[in-house]
Amino acid sequence: MHPVLTLVVQRIALGLLLLLAVSAVIFLGVAALPGDTAQAILGQSATPQALANLRTEMGLDQPALTRYFNWLGGILTGDLGTSLSNRTDIAAAISQRLGNTLFLAGWAAVISVPLAILLGLLAARYNGRWPDKLISGATLSTISLPEFVVGYIVLYFLAVKWQLFPSVAMVFPGMGMMERLNAVILPVIVLVLVVLAHMMRMTRAAILNVMQSAYIETAELKGLTPMRVIWRHAFPNAVAPVVNVVMLNLAYLVVGVVVVEVVFVYPGMGQYLVDHVAKRDLPVVQAVGLIFAAVYIGLNIMADVISILANPRLRHPK
């Protein structure tokens, strides 16, 4: 088997094993939560017989190992289970919510990735000078604040004080594209501010590291402009670490939107998870947690594969 294909298969196999381990951790963690689900649903006035009947109906009277394998088997067949709070199919409820989260994260990625690379190139071009200090200081100031603080600052100025955009990011089926974009612009701004610094600083560091190479000095001696040297010679050879950090931040955009969605009351996966944690709806918590883990692991595998394809030393390991 070709070395590249072997490495790719190994990464995928490790990712699947990690996802299996994560599923066990999620199930055990949710099962260990204090309180009684049946009691939370029926209330404190429920009779012991009613509680026992509901536990039997939900399968809570079975051993934990049996419930785990039943849950895992359902997932492999596309059955995420039934919500305990409203008895609806979890897969159907998640499909729309997941689409909303991907829409939000997708637009944040479309803006943040090119902007971070451009700012990283500019910071490397003017290394140690005022543009570099300004870009680094501005991006680090946003990453130093928690997401909810950035969210409330953006919300106060752009929605409350200046009334430029809606304070609640409410979307629903049938909305036009421009209406949806107008509704999500504030959470998109917050996500861009949160992830921009990581990608910008990695781009800057990777390019500055490559700029120490001999072939860069040769390109400079040919009379090429500094920006052309960076764009045509340094950046293509610094793309592997940049791709890794971009993929990690894309994973964060999908799985780390919980706080942002709650701040802006956005009907995505994060808001859905928080609502059902409050209701102690364990099947929903397990399903959403596993989907978040699958997205995060999948994007990390993709970053590894791209790094393998972009790095000759990984394509031809000794």
DSSP state for residue 34 in the 8-state scheme? S
Containing structural domain, residue 267: 90-279
Burial class of residue 52 in the structure, from the number of CB atoms within 10 Å of its CB (0-12 exposed, 13-18 middle, 19+ buried): middle
Instruction: Say how far apart CA 170 and CA 267 lie, in whole Å.
Output: 7
Question: What is the enclosing helix (H) or strand (E) of 138?
Answer: helix 130-143
In a domain, 211, yes or no: yes
pLDDT of 222-247, one tens digit each?
888 888 888 888 888 787 788 888 88
Cα-trace Rg, the chain: 24
In a domain, 226, yes or no: yes
Residue whose C-alpha is closest to residue 26's, from 298, 284, 295: 284
Percent over 90 (pLDDT), the chain: 30
The model's confidence at residue 317, banded by pLDDT at 50, 70 and 90, is low
Q: 41 or 255, which is more confident?
A: 255
CB 277 within 8 A of CB 271: no
In a domain, 233, yes or no: yes
SS3 82: strand
Q: What is the mean pLDDT of residues 264-269?
A: 92
Number of structural domains, the chain? 1
The answer for 223, left when phi > 0, alpha when psi is -120 to 50, beta otherwise, is: left
The model's confidence at residue 189, banded by pLDDT at 50, 70 and 90, is very high
Instruction: Say how far apart CA 19 and CA 2 lie, in whole Å.
Output: 26
In a domain, 24, yes or no: no
Q: What is the mean pLDDT of residues 172-195?
A: 90
Partnered with residue 82 across adjacent β-strands are 89
Instruction: Say how far apart CA 170 and CA 207 lie, in whole Å.
Output: 41
In a domain, 115, yes or no: yes
In a domain, 12, yes or no: no
Instruction: Say how far apart CA 118 and CA 124 lie, in whole Å.
Output: 10
Instruction: Say how far apart CA 64 and CA 141 lie, in whole Å.
Output: 46
CB 128 within 8 A of CB 145: no
The model's confidence at residue 316, banded by pLDDT at 50, 70 and 90, is low
In a domain, 286, yes or no: no
The model's confidence at residue 312, banded by pLDDT at 50, 70 and 90, is low
CATH code for the domain in which residue 165 is found: 1.10.3720.10
Please identify which residue in the block is written with the tokens 């421009």: 178
Asked if residue 118 has pLDDT above 80, the reply is yes
- The pTM for the full model equals 0.85
Asked if residue 296 has pLDDT above 70, the reply is yes
Q: What is the mean pLDDT of residues 154-178?
A: 90
In a domain, 170, yes or no: yes
Residue 111 is predicted with a pLDDT of 94
The model's confidence at residue 291, banded by pLDDT at 50, 70 and 90, is very high
